[in-house]
Amino acid sequence: MKRWAPMIGVLIVMLTPQFAQGVEVEGNPRGNGIVLRDHQIKPEKRHHFDGGSGQRTLEEPKHPCTYNGLILACNIPEPSVPLGTVFTPGLARQAVANIPLPGLELHVQPDGETLVNVPTIFWVDPQPFETSIELLGREIEVEATPESFTWVHGDGTTQTTTHPGQPYPREDITHRYFHPAELAARVDTTYSVRFSIDGDGWTDLGEVLIATGPTTAIDVHEAAPVLVR
């Protein structure tokens, strides 16, 4: 029996929660006996949109990272929360600030090709963005609204506006190219963001978030004058 006593002692130690987790169980700094440890992002609700109608849709998107018909890059690692971390508004704010926001597709007229010294029209179709995350057992709703747009023309110049532009015949946002070239243009969208914790009112994030849009190819040509008789 004495020969088996050490092995039985080792087995008891291995079955204790502290040994199984590999860490020492810590008390809650607030002294209420609760240690919040769960953390996950809900992929089924990560990208949820109202489609500009002002009403929240109930059906889920066909792809968890779909926005306005585009598939977003969602291979973003989930944040690591240390064991024993207690939920705070500051932690919620940090999680919201790291949410990826959708970059908008740039529309150009003439489509894909333009001429030197001819006004080229730019516009986008912005939509409010909604998502939700679960952080340490708390539900955080997030709303992001496009506030301004930085138009990157592809020739080294940019311009920033607070309106998204419109297609022809409106010429709200235009740019003239002065040299023939094959360029890649885009628009970077600046969002104002607010969040709500467990439905308890809305709080402004306190900083704007910028989403870089995908590039649009533009071929700039130089028209040669032709004498017509």
Q: Write down the pLDDT at residue 137.
A: 87
Q: Are 120 and 109 in contact (CB under 8 A)?
A: yes
pLDDT digits (tens, 9 = 90+) for 79-100: 556 666 788 889 999 999 999 9
Q: CATH number of the domain at 49, please.
A: 2.60.40.10
Residue 39 domain boundaries? 35-221
Quickly state the pLDDT bin for 228 (edges 50, 70, 90).
Answer: low
Question: Above 90 in pLDDT, residue 42?
Answer: no
Task: Answer whether residue 53 shows pLDDT above 80.
Answer: no
Q: Within a domain: residue 46?
A: yes
Q: What is the mean pLDDT of the chain?
A: 74
Minimum mean pLDDT among 17-26, 80-89, 150-159, 204-213: which range?
Answer: 17-26
Q: Which residue has the higher pLDDT, 116 or 75?
A: 116
Residue 69's CB is within 10 A of a number of other CB atoms, namely 6
Number of structural domains found in the chain: 1
The pair of structure tokens assigned to 119 is 């006004």
